[in-house]
Chain A
Amino acid sequence: MTTTQYRVIGSRPVRHDGADKVTGKAIYTADMKLPGMLSGFVLRSPHAHAKILSIDTSEAEAMPGVHAVVTGADFPNVEDKIADLGEGSVNLAYLSTNCMAQKKVLYRGHAVAAVAATDVHIAEEAAAKIKVEYEVLDSVTWVLDAMQDDAPLLHENLLTDSLGKKAETPSNIPVHMHFEKGDVAAGFAEADVIIEREFKTATVHQGYIEPHAVVADYNEDGRLRIWTATQGSFTCRQQTAEVLQIPLGNVLVTPCEIGGGFGGKITVYLEPTAALLSKKSGRPVRITMTRADVFEASGPTPGSYMRIKLGAKNDGTIVAGEAWLAYDAGAYPGGMIGPGCMCVFSCYDIEHAVVDGYDVCLNKPKTSAYRAPGATQVAFAVEQLVDELAEKLDMCALEIREKNAVKEGARRVDGPVYPPIGLEQCLDALKQSEHWNTPLEGPHRGRGIAAGFWFGCGLKSSAACTVNSDGTINLLEGSTDIGGSRTSIAMQLAEVLGLEAEDINPQVGDTDTAGYTDVTGGSRVTFATGMAAYEAGRDLQQQMKTLAAELWDCSAEEITVNEDGSFSGNGNQLGFKELASQLFAAGEHLVGRATVSPECPTNGFGAHIADVEVDPETGKVTILRYTTIQDAGKAIHPSYVEGQLQGGTVQGIGWALNEEYFFNDDDTMANADFLDYRVPTMLDVPMIETIIVETGNPDHPYGVRGVGETPIVPPPAALANAIYNATNTRMTELPMSPPKLWKAMQSDPSAD
């Protein structure tokens, strides 16, 4: 437990970009306007799976106002090269043909051509005049169907990879993973109670309110400037450069303010297309996706099929686990099966376990990360089985979790051993909470709990701080700010230097000015970029010690940086600002800098409590009360930590109760809008109570753990457990929407 008293850390200053964002001044990508800018429109496939026989763009090109048309033919041929994007890697041929289809379309919404015109309406009309001849193919959107031998093949040469070994015949299964720990057969033999169930979850979308948008300006000198809504400007630069086959240094990516991402704004979709339209037209081009495009053609997160078995002894010890997981990859390989497999048993210390996981291609948009990618699906399954074991063993749901919770030294199913972690502390906080200790009364009501985990990664971050003549600081960092991270990073710099948060002027740099920084994702920004800011502050202090030594006529070793950030030595003492001003006046100007690449997962654990009431006549679930508990290590800005917990929880609630991709008979999406893709409205959720546990992370100077992702993991499971306790009906399918819950209650004879 950290006990250090901080001045800035743990306080709640107003965010630095706040005034811009409440007055409408903040510039998001779609707000960008460059002289001569054209508007782009992307023509997309109406079919889920088809061969492109021909594309005729002549009529569109001839339309007044149209300046350029591009198709797959304008894209350079990229080989099957794997590009490392910092977090995860990508096959460039897949990335490129996902941006613009070449010979085949693999999902409804797949881009086939794009137009740039003086007005978006003209571009849209022109796109409608492009004649694409398709040969429609059989399609598949359910993961188990796609795994069948006779399923329509998306990629003719795709061979299943089992850790370096390729299958002999093509299929829709790019990857099979397998993990094993202990002796599973012996484990189940030891068990007194065994429960096995199948679970299904629907494809869901991150649902950020800002549609993808980009402005590209391809200069005559070959320099490409891009303004975009991205979670990672450097990753965006690399993907764009690789797809276009141009040098990295020719691309400048400027991240605009970004209207939500949650993992969905890492992959490029529009950037290469906008760049090529700009190159052809000689004018800057802006493209924004429509909301339907966002649903149909960006990257939702996998639907899944899971078969999971758990065995426990009479004393409640879970001794064996077995999981068979198949996750949608979408149209191209590379879904979230890896973390799914690694998270399935991540909360429990199970001696004997085996996991098989399959990444499966099917005719849906290529999936991408969504807050703790792959973990929510498995938590939905396992956390229900744990409750069932508890019920069979006549234990309390909390007790069985306390008994089996992972702690330092426990071995994960994929091998590594946990360092100090905070699941036990979260469960303890749950046990002590007012919510848990307040009985829930009334008919058709139930309470459920669930635990959750996400790794949280480190990766590369950079920060540079320039000292102004009055001792205030301009901080330049490279993490695109989606939720107030400028401030949580600046606060760490303020803390180390003995300044106030307001003394720091943080700025998110572009790829020409900021040091290399990986994506805003993986719960890493406050942890890793905060660490970079801290180190940049330390660098500054070292430089100031050397310079102060001259000023004070002593050696640098004689100068101490005190806890409040002041400097003392040789009988002198000055605060940071005062010393900085004196040094500036003496002709020195200072820039502190740091690059870090922490490689340790920050291991974020959480536990949630949900109270629900179920309408027995309609199957509609009302959430009466909800508490989210999480180990933040150390909360830098508690309001924004609470905000991450509350926001992630409500996304998890949406996933649990109503969100799903609904497909027509022809495998096209039937609900590509916010009307029928039902994210929670304000009226659908209660206040989300939060309890921040602070166990301190030994791998960070202030003890920070990543917090952003874990909160989405437990809600579907906590709500399923609550629904069971309210209705006696086990829901094994997401979403637990009214028609499904009502039907399940009808068919479950034990239900109330």
Chain B
Amino acid sequence: MPATKKVHVTTTINGEEIDFLCEPRHSLLEVLRDNLGLTGSKEGCNNGNCGACTVLLNGRPVDSCLVLGVEVEGAEIETVEGIACSSSLHPVQECFLEGAALQCGICTPGFLVAAKALLDKDPHASEETIRFNLAGNLCRCTGYDKIVRAVQAAGQRMSADA
């Protein structure tokens, strides 16, 4: 896409109202990482096949590399940086750490965002449900075993805390 004039966008990211200017061709992922310094969302493929850039857009998980920055006017966005509540980690983060569900950590932010979205909807998600819903997130280090277990453990912790 050719460069054109920058567009002013107002949006809410992790509960905070944010303004930014971006070119129409810039993806939300580029805006988050380059304009806003939110580098927790990672670029693994830039075409929606790996899930490392997963963020929540109006509550739904999306690949932020396949969203244009200009599309999020008025939207609510949640990124990995917004998962922890002030000083304490979210159960899904705790369970990833306790369960050794990450190795290199590059896919972890995407998994955490998608897993949290799933558990918010269904804290008792079965192994099959977890595997189906998180199949859009690739991990090359762990073989997924410990990720599935960590998501299950986090679901239990969330329902116990609730």
Contact = CB atoms under 8 A, between A and B. Distances in A.
Whether the complex brings A and B within 8 Å at their CB atoms is answered: yes
Nearest to B79: A24
Given A18-B97, A209-B138, A210-B106, A646 B46 contact: no
Contacts of A207: 140
Query: Which label, helix, strand, loop or mixed, suits the secondary structure of the B interface?
Result: loop
Contact of A209 (B47, B96, B139): B139
B139 to A, nearest CB: 7
B143 interface: yes
A637 to B, nearest CB: 8
Contacts of A211: 43-44
Contacts of B39: 24, 27-28, 30-31
B160 to A, nearest CB: 20
A747 B83 CA distance: 54
A649 interface: yes
Given A24-B80, A209-B107, A639-B100, A31 B33 contact: yes
A639 B95 CA distance: 13
Interface string A5-35: 0000000101101110111111110110100
B52 interface: yes
Contact of A260 (B112, B127, B131, B141): B141
Nearest to B108: A21
Interface string B120-148: 00000001001110111111111111111
Contact of A24 (B41, B96, B130): B41
A419 interface: no
Interface in B6-53: 23, 25, 33, 37-47, 49-50, 52
Interface string A206-235: 111111000000000000000000000000
Contacts of B97: 14-15, 18-19, 22
Given A23-B81, A30-B43, A211-B43, A643 B140 contact: no
B6 to A, nearest CB: 12
Interface stretch (A46-54, A153-161, A679-687): A679-687
A248 interface: no
Contact of A674 (B45, B83, B99): B45
Contacts of B23: 121
Contacts of B147: 682
A24 B106 contact: no
Given A23-B93, A643-B141, A291 B81 contact: no
A483 B135 contact: no
A259 B33 contact: no
Contacts of B33: 30-31
A578 to B, nearest CB: 30
Contacts of B47: 291, 673-675
Contacts, number: 180
A662 interface: no
B104 A258 contact: yes
A31 B40 CA distance: 8
B30 to A, nearest CB: 9
B104 A208 contact: yes
Contacts of B62: none
Given A22-B89, A257-B105, A484-B100, A646 B142 contact: yes
Contacts of B80: 22-24
Contacts of B41: 24
A674 B131 contact: no
A670 to B, nearest CB: 15
- From B42, B80, B83, name the one whose CB has the most chain A CB atoms within 10 angstroms: B42
B100 A12 contact: yes
B16 to A, nearest CB: 15
Given A121-B3, A209-B50, A291-B44, A15 B140 contact: no
B140 A639 contact: no
A44 B155 CA distance: 46
A647 interface: yes
B108 A647 contact: no
Interface of A: 12, 14-15, 17-19, 21-28, 30-31, 33, 121-122, 206-211, 257-262, 288, 290-291, 482-484, 637, 639-640, 642-643, 646-651, 673-675, 679-685, 687-688
Leading 6 A-B pairs by shortest Cβ distance: A24-B40, A259-B106, A646-B143, A650-B143, A639-B100, A21-B105
16 contacts: A15-B97, A18-B96, A21-B108, A22-B112, A23-B83, A24-B109, A31-B39, A121-B3, A121-B23, A211-B44, A260-B103, A639-B100, A643-B142, A650-B143, A682-B137, A687-B148
Given A208-B140, A647-B142, 19 more contacts: A14-B98, A15-B100, A17-B105, A22-B105, A22-B108, A22-B112, A23-B40, A25-B40, A208-B106, A209-B104, A209-B138, A259-B42, A259-B106, A260-B103, A483-B104, A679-B138, A681-B136, A682-B130, A685-B143
